[in-house]
Amino acid sequence: MTDVVHNTYGASAGFVTTQRVELFDAMRPLVLDSGVELAPIEVAYETYGELNADRSNAIVICHALTGDAHAAGHHGDPTRPGWWDNFIGPRKPVDTDRFFVICANLLGGCMGTTGPSSVNPATEQPYGLRFPLFTVGDMVSVHRALITHLGIDRLHAAIGGSLGGMQVLHWAMEHPDEIGAAVMVCATSRLTAQNIAFSAVAREAIMRDPNFHGGDYQRIGARPDAGLAVARMMAHITYLSEEGMREKFGRRLQNGTTPRFGFDVDFQVESYLHHQGEVFLRRFDANSYLYLTRAMDYFDPFDDMLQAAPKLERLHAPFLVVSFDSDWRFDTAHSRDVVRVLAAHRVPVTFREIASPHGHDSFLLVLPEYHRTVADFLGRPTAAGSTRSARAA
């Protein structure tokens, strides 16, 4: 993620705390899509705003690959807000004066929800690569359990960017009565070969680090920092755009105007990527990166249309699908593919391509047209069975 530019309108969600709850245990384990049972599962989550009397104003935020539960407000330092603080809060696009907003760290994450870095109760050691592989559907199963725990039967909306949008699509297709409206931003229904290739190289960088030790680096007090930093540096390039990088860095040298003629950091863009890699090491786990990127690789809900079509025909919640014209990680073609399938099955869908020079990371930034589009969409009625006509502008 790039540095986030904050709104000049709206207010902060204020001081918030991350809560934790155990949602599955040995008596009631989570049965993963693979058939493997997993328990216990602790989930870290945050909430913003107030749940209304009839529990009808809840919105779930599904975070992207390297996000976490801390989406808005602050933990005591207002200068260090949540990762989507410009988007969630009083009088912001996801208005916490109107909505009760929930964001949970993903299954397999490393910020409070059970994942590869968690302790396996059977061995009293971190799972490492013994953690079972899971799917986007399994992530959603954990979200659904949290919503049930909070006493909510139906969401006003589910919103997600990138991997978060993939979760929203799965949730709406598999459990159409649970979501009143769906927002997918910079998302896709399937990774291309190029997308998978980027993730494959990132995983190789991690696994070939001498400190990886087959995923057991925690047990021996090591960290595959070099590999994880390289993985992050490469991925970060795909989150930006050519135009954005040209404007921000060009070919400017880091120190002065004379090149050093060596292999140390010399260009400003090199310095920036090194910084992004170093910062990432402070907050993310290498094994979580492996598992979450692999789950993205396997996601493909429209692959078998004989199975997908009946699910889509039961889906009446309106969709908003948003792309950005400079995003080349999940370019506009990905969004148009989703829109075409939804519209073909008479799912109410609105599509917007927003102009932005910031690439994939645009969904994290303040772009007035983007924010207005989402705010307007959330203001519409979202009753089940809406007959609003689909349109793919």
Could you read off the pLDDT of 121-154 as tens digits, one per residue?
999 999 999 999 999 999 999 999 999 999 999 9
Could you read off the pLDDT of 80-128 as tens digits, one per residue?
999 999 999 999 999 999 999 999 999 999 999 999 999 999 999 999 9
Claim to verify: residue 200 and residue 151 sit in the same structural domain = no
CATH number at residue 357: 3.40.50.1820
Claim to verify: residue 288 and residue 322 sit in the same structural domain = no
CB 86 within 8 A of CB 365: yes
Among 294, 326, 346, the domain-final residue is 294
**Residue 47 is assigned to a structural domain of this protein:** yes
Claim to verify: residue 146 and residue 277 sit in the same structural domain = no
pLDDT of residue 33 exceeding 80: yes
Task: Quote the strand ranges of the chain, DSSP E.
Answer: 19-24, 30-31, 37-38, 41-48, 58-62, 88-89, 94-95, 100-104, 119-120, 125-126, 157-161, 182-185, 319-324, 349-354
User: How would you label 375-388 residue by residue, b for 16+ Cβ within 10 Å and e otherwise?
Assistant: eebbeeebeeeeee
Measure the CA–CA gap between 219 and 249, rounded to whole angstroms: 40
Place 391 in a pLDDT band, splitting at 50, 70 and 90. very low
Claim to verify: residue 118 and residue 27 sit in the same structural domain = yes
Claim to verify: residue 268 and residue 285 sit in the same structural domain = yes
Of 270, 268, 186, 195, the residue nearest 230 (C-alpha): 270
pTM of the predicted model, to two decimals?
A: 0.93
**Residue 10 is assigned to a structural domain of this protein:** no
**Residue 390 is assigned to a structural domain of this protein:** no
Claim to verify: residue 229 and residue 177 sit in the same structural domain = no
Claim to verify: residue 303 and residue 245 sit in the same structural domain = no
Among 247, 275, 294, the domain-final residue is 294
Measure the CA–CA gap between 160 and 132, rounded to whole angstroms: 24
Claim to verify: residue 154 and residue 220 sit in the same structural domain = no
**Residue 161 is assigned to a structural domain of this protein:** yes
Of 336, 339, 344, the residue nearest 313 (C-alpha): 344
Q: Catalytic site residues?
A: 162, 327, 360
Claim to verify: residue 81 and residue 124 sit in the same structural domain = yes
Q: State the residue range of the domain holding 268.
A: 196-294
Of 154, 158, 143, 179, the residue nearest 52 (C-alpha): 154
Place 9 in a pLDDT band, splitting at 50, 70 and 90. low
Among 250, 269, 294, the domain-final residue is 294
Claim to verify: residue 180 and residue 70 sit in the same structural domain = yes
CATH number at residue 235: 1.10.1740.110
For the chain, the domain total comes to 2
Of 136, 171, 6, the residue nearest 74 (C-alpha): 6
3-state secondary structure of 56: coil
Measure the CA–CA gap between 251 and 321, rounded to whole angstroms: 35
pLDDT of residue 203 exceeding 90: yes
DSSP letter for each residue of 148-197: HHTT-SSBSEEEEETHHHHHHHHHHHH-GGGBS-EEEES--SS--HHHHH
**Residue 369 is assigned to a structural domain of this protein:** yes
Work out the mean pLDDT of the chain and round it to a whole number: 93
Claim to verify: residue 147 and residue 42 sit in the same structural domain = yes
Claim to verify: residue 281 and residue 332 sit in the same structural domain = no
Could you read off the pLDDT of 348-362 as tens digits, one per residue?
999 999 999 999 999
